[in-house]
Structure formats: C-alpha cells, structure tokens
Amino acid sequence: MLFEPLTLRCGLVIPNRIALAPMTNLQSQADGLLGEDELVWLAARADGGFGLVATCAAYVALDGKAWPGELGIDRDACLPGLTRLAARCKAGGMTAMVQLFHGGVRADSALTGEPTWSASTWTEETPGFVPPRAGTTDDIARVIEQFAAAAARAEQAGFDGIELHGAHGYLLSQFLSRTMNPRTDGWGGDLVGRARLIREVTRAVRARVSARFAVGVRLSLEDFGQARGMDLDDNLAVAAWLAEDGADFIHASLWDVARKTAKRPEEHAVPLVRAALPKDVAVIVAGKIWSPSEAEGMLALGADMIALGRAAILNPDWPALARQGNEAIKRPPITRLELAARGVSPLFAGYLTKWKGLVAD
C-alpha cells in the first residue's frame, strides 16, 4: 500500500504514501532566501522517491522567525528561490509543499529585532525565556492575512500545497492550548475560542488559493515538549472542524507511533484521528517510524500516508529500500561524513547533535 497513489479531496494526486516530514535544518540564508544547502537536502529526498517532499517550517512574518537559516515565505523577494525549489523537487514527478509557520513566543526576538507575542503573556523557568506580549486583535488579523499571503506565494512559486504548522507549541498551537490561552475576547478560553485562530487561518488560506491546491494542518494531539495544554479530545474535535474549514489532510505529529495515547492508554491515536475525519480527508502520521513494516502498520491502523523525519535524514533513498522489501534501514548513530554524503550540510549536522544518539561523536 505504501506505493499506491494518494488522491486528496482537492484532486491533487501524490504518487505514493511516503512523505518527508518538515524539519528545521538552518540551511537557508540569513535573510530567509533559499540557500543552496536547503535545495540540495530536499532535492536528494525527492530524487530518493519520497512522494511528498515538505520544506522546513517557513516563516510567514519576520516576528515569527525562530531560527537562524530559517526559510522565509513572508515577502515576494522570496519567490525566485521558492520557484526554483519547487521546480527542482517536482522534477521527478513528486509532490512538493511548504510548511507555513509562525513561532509566537518561540520566535527569536534577538534574531529578528521584533518582540514576541502570543495568545497571552506568561513566564517559564527556562534560561533566556522572554515573556511574550499578549497579541492584540490587530496582531491576529495581521497574522491571518500573513498566512494567507504566504500560501498564495507558495502556489505562485509552483508548489502543490501547504501545511499549516499547528503543532509543537508554536503560535497556532499556543492559541489552542488550555494553559497558554485564557483570553476572554472570543479568541481563547473555551475550545471554540482557542480554535478560532487556526480555523480562521485555514479558511483564509483555502479562500486565497485555487481549488486543486492542497491545504493541510499539522497538529499535536497531546502534550509533548513545547506543546503544552493539549487535550486529546479537544484536538480530535479541532481536526474535524478543520476538515469543515477546507483542510485536505491532518498531519498527526505523534513523536513515537509505538505509544498509545496518554489520555486513553488502551487506544492508539491513528484510529481516533481517522474516525474523527470525513473519509475524503487524509491522515498523515509521523513519529519514529523507521522500517517499512512499521510504516505499513500505520497504514493498517487507518493512516493514509506516513511522514519520515530521522529515517529520511539517514536514508534519502528510504522509498527505494522499502520498495525492495529491505528492512535494513540505516539507524543511528551516523557520522558527519556520512551525513554529508546524504545531502546534510555541516550546519544541519551540527543542529542534529541536539538529538541524543543521532550523530556519532
């Protein structure tokens, strides 16, 4: 089933069920324009047979930029590089998408010169944490337009679709959070209010792009890492609402597909997400999938596509290996020299050292 085409309800046909997950890689230029290392990294996975190649999180506004070397899609000056990137990733018949992102409080004000903002203000006992200001209704209106404008740029550049980054504790996730969003002005508090921003963004994006351009959303279903205040049932309801708002797929970021849900330890998340959505809305799942058999297992549970992160870093030809029935997938640790041979720049390799046990000393 991994190599069957997937037709999204917008009509876009993805040639197989294997996606490259969006991953931070620090490989673009300081001003957000496309870097050669970024292009090499993504092109190697497109050439390796990934049916869907997704960019790293691309910031839709300067005050949402979270990392040096992050790809930008916040202005028309980004279009030449984005156009080149889309054409290269699609050269072999694969599908290419941009992940649209705003960091909220996780943006880096020291990098951008812009103060951070979020649904509310709070403090954390984290070194260097700068409390955000509470976003105004003008901030909210502006960021909705910035997401929509970025989606239009992605389509103009030749990409096949976009994914909204509503996971991992970034701006859209911060608004969804029970703990980060106590607003009482209709943009927070109860689930309807907390889901309002991500729904309005989805609707605005859907209205700005053509009918055959894919729109999806990545969600964290429960707490993990910086995703806090996430409730499983809340986010299953949000997923269903987003389908009503025009989402063609929901990308469930599970971190580890071997685990059951925390709220209902006897149940796996994938069947729950599948049941929450109309049959024509696709489910993508990610989380420590390494082998073809693990990937097939997720499809058997109800996923329509699997997304690979670390496995794709170490195995740019993962789809070819899977097609051969080869379970001998390269696993950590991996040397920097081996990473370089796989299209991973020294900067990206340095970033990967933060992932325990991935890069050999």
From the list 41, 67, 170, 213, the catalytic residue is 170
Residue 164's φ and ψ, nearest 5 degrees, are -80, 130
**Cα-based torsion angle of the residue sequence 167, 172, 174, 175 in order, rounded to the nearest 10 degrees:** -140
Asked if 229 contacts 180 with a C-beta cutoff of 8 angstroms, the reply is yes
Q: How far apart are CA 227 and CA 272, in angstroms?
A: 19
Q: How far apart are CA 190 and CA 69, in angstroms?
A: 37
Position 159: which residue type?
A: F
Asked if 118 contacts 132 with a C-beta cutoff of 8 angstroms, the reply is yes
The answer to whether 170 is a known catalytic residue is: yes
Q: How far apart are CA 331 and CA 117, in angstroms?
A: 39
At residue 138's C-alpha, the angle toward residues 135 and 143, to 5°, is: 75
Asked if 175 contacts 194 with a C-beta cutoff of 8 angstroms, the reply is yes
* Buried b / exposed e along 26-47 (16+ C-beta atoms within 10 A): bbbbeebbbbebbbebbbbbbb
Position 80: which residue type?
A: P
Sign of the torsion formed by the C-alpha atoms of 173, 174, 177 and 183: negative
Q: Which active-site residues does the annotation give?
A: 170
